[in-house]
Amino acid sequence: DAKTTQPNSMESNEEEPVHLPCNHSTISGTDYIHWYRQLPSQGPEYVIHGLTSNVNNRMASLAIAEDRKSSTLILHRATLRDAAVYYCILRIFGNQGGKLIFGQGTELSVKP
């Protein structure tokens, strides 16, 4: 399974943008880049995913490098409710996607 590397922790101020980086230098052509987040004592929550092009949804934006070896999750205006552990994971498409292998993730803290 291709691995991802993320910083252990990041801090942000409320209402400011947050850029969460992820390196995945061994990504293959069939891997989608997924982001999930986990609040304390809850199951993970899907945030966004992409293959090659940048993606936007109501929660966040995903910027993917041209060589696909890295990506950045962008929270446009951090709120206190965005404080969570963010996981960047590679996953193949279809056939129910195959298993998700979690790394250590980035713990995001948001200061008021």
Partner 1 sequence: GAVVSQHPSRVICKSGTSVKIECRSLDFQATTMFWYRQFPKQSLMLMATSNEGSKATYEQGVEKDKFLINHASLTLSTLTVTSAHPEDSSFYICSASKWSGTEAFFGQGTRLTVV
Chain contacts with partner 1 (rule: CB under 8 A): 32, 34, 36, 38, 41-46, 49, 85, 87, 91, 93-97, 99-105
Task: Identify the sign of the CA torsion 46, 76, 32, 84.
Answer: negative
Compute the distance between CA of residue 64 and CA of residue 72 in angstroms, rounded to an integer. 7
* Closer to partner 1 by Cβ: residue 84 or 85: 85
* Closer to partner 1 by Cβ: residue 58 or 67: 58
Q: CA nearest 36: which of 12, 16, 14, 6?
A: 6
**Distance of closest approach, residue 65 Cβ to partner 1, in angstroms:** 20
